[in-house]
Chain A
Amino acid sequence: MAAYILRRLAYFVPTLLAIYTAAFLLMHAAPGSPFGDEKGLPPEVLAVRQAEFHLDKPLWQQYVLYGWDLVTLRGHTSMRYPGRNVIHDILAPAFPVSLVLGLFALGLSVVVGTAAGVLSAARPRSAADYTAMAGAMIGISQPSFVLATVLLAVFSVALGWLPVGGWGRPSQMVLPALALAALPAAYIARLVRTGMLEVLSADFIRTARAKGLSERQVLLGHALPTAWLPVLGYLGPAAAGIFTGSFVVEKVFAIPGVGQHFVDSALHRDHPMILATVLLYAVLLVVFNLLVDIGYAWLDPRIRYE
């Protein structure tokens, strides 16, 4: 297992390099310069601005310079916010916000999704099954901005139970976490239900029942760990997505997370920012995928990594 993890860690390097390269090329494939919109800029000023962002150098030098800034975590100043370092001044303060909100939302979606999935699989075609699955359907049937706005309109504006937005108090976290958790919770509920229904007809479940175990022990102790395997596979990419924030939820609830920077950097072609956000996402993705594979071996003894 240790050898496997080490090998996977070594594999991170080429993967991240490839993702960085792809983002770099894609960024430069977009026509025009990042300063093309600023009309009437004197040529001297333009030259200084371009030199600041290595735009006067050949492509490969830009590639190496930006890459080195990111590897050493030194960062570079943002094009959009002059004088602010993309890592130290922008992402470092914003990431903990997205991380805390993401952990809350992820925990919520795992608990709610698993509970709904187990309940509906325990009594298929019952009222509980249909209620749980109908609830899950709401999560996948509306865009998140509609869901977030409706939650806001109902619970904050109409009922006045929760704050309208902002960040800092736990009560300000409830609605954004709900809006963020709806989609993953719905997916998890459906995955768990399908997995449970499949596992419940397996021989080892019949054996467990024949030994006289309670239905609760059969469902939660024997069936759930196996039925949960597909959820694990889904959670890897989902966690990377949730921890890097959601542009929509952050915008609706005025939360200072990292999600906005993913969209804004691409819209404004802020080169240092694009590369930094891409690498942040990629690092989270590969780390979570590794955690998922370790989780597989832990949940399912049949899986071994040599």
Chain B
Amino acid sequence: MSDPTTESVSAGLAASVRRPMSPVGLAMRRFRRNRLAMAGLAMLALVAASCAAGLVWELSALAHDQPEPYSTLMPGIHPQPPSADYPFGTDLLGRDMLARTLIGGCVSLGVGLAAAVVSILIGTWWGVTSGYAGRGVDTVMMRIVDVLYGLPYILVVILLWVLVADRSLQVRMAVLLLAIGGVSWLTMARVVRGQVLALREAEFVQAARALGSGPVRIIAKELLPNLTGTILVCATLTVPLAILQESFLSFLGLGVPPPMASWGTLASDAVAALQPVRVYWWLLAAPCAMLGATLLGLNFVGDGLRDAFDPRSR
């Protein structure tokens, strides 16, 4: 028993038993080793930090009763190309593009996050209920998803949009979030249901059922932890789609109301101001660069998460 090899082996065993890696922990370790995904995460962090700085700028202006930076008209002749005074230039009305891009980023990112939250809340609930209940409930719930898929999504968004007559900023923002969130949960519901169908008859779920667990406990304790990866990946890939949809609505003139900005409204204003004689490239460059960095970052992170949670890559 005093053999040092046996001791070290049992010590090693004890160490590995003491600290078992959870599936999520293992996936996160694989994710951290994915350089592209980490680069995407860094890009996202940079964009989010600068937009947060823009928000602080806006809030401090509000707190000190100063004019709001994104809607203040600067003195002089405009639009001006990027300079020391205006790093991103100024727009046609003479507003600082730096402030507009950063505040617009808060709106665009907010739309994306809201869509992710809606798709996590509604989509997960819908998918788990449908998949776990099975039979008639499953058929009805999935047919509803099929029908909503069958409607052109732009129609759903526009009709939801005109449903509300109130045109104040807060209400329009809320409707924008609802409209985009309302069409973004369908994919989540399908994906989650598929996963629940596979897990429902798994042995550990049967064991829990045999031990007397009710449906709520099985869903909360057995199914949801195993769905984390699927939900996370799907939500990450929902965000870029929602941001693109917001920019499309802005192109239609249904985006956030002026003078508020989003990357979508900024890009569509810049596109409208594009003309062969004078090229105001900086109007397009700033919002599109930020938008591009965000979408790329989210796609890298989403792909990285999918690889990390994929059971076949273990």
Contact = CB atoms under 8 A, between A and B. Distances in A.
A1 B271 CA distance: 50
Given A141-B292, A248-B248, A266 B271 contact: no
A281 B152 CA distance: 7
Interface residues of A, number: 43
A262 interface: yes
Which interface residue of A247, A267, A286 has the most chain B CB atoms within 10 A?
A267
A30 B240 CA distance: 28
Interface string A116-146: 0000000000000000000001001111111
A21 to B, nearest CB: 8
Contacts of A262: 152, 154-155
A261 to B, nearest CB: 11
A292 interface: no
A181 B154 CA distance: 19
A157 B158 CA distance: 33
A81 B147 CA distance: 29
B150 interface: yes
A150 B146 CA distance: 36
Interface stretch (B24-32, B159-167, B204-212): B159-167
The main secondary structure of chain B at its interface with chain A is helix
Contacts of B46: none
A40 B312 CA distance: 68
Nearest to B240: A140
Interface in A245-276: 247-248, 262-263, 265-267, 269, 274
Contacts of B146: 15, 18
Interface in B148-178: 148-152, 154-156, 158-159, 162-163, 165
B180 interface: no
A153 B163 contact: no
Contact of B276 (A23, A157, A198, A274): A157
A154 to B, nearest CB: 11
A297 interface: no
Nearest to A158: B276
B151 A146 contact: no
Contacts of B90: none
A274 B155 CA distance: 8
A282 interface: yes
Interface of B: 143, 146-152, 154-156, 158-159, 162-163, 165, 240, 244, 247-248, 251-252, 264, 267-268, 271, 274, 276, 279, 284, 288, 291-292, 295-296, 299, 303, 312
Interface of A: 15, 18-19, 22-23, 26-27, 29-32, 137, 140-146, 149-150, 153, 157-158, 190, 198, 237, 244, 247-248, 262-263, 265-267, 269, 274, 277-278, 281-282, 285-286
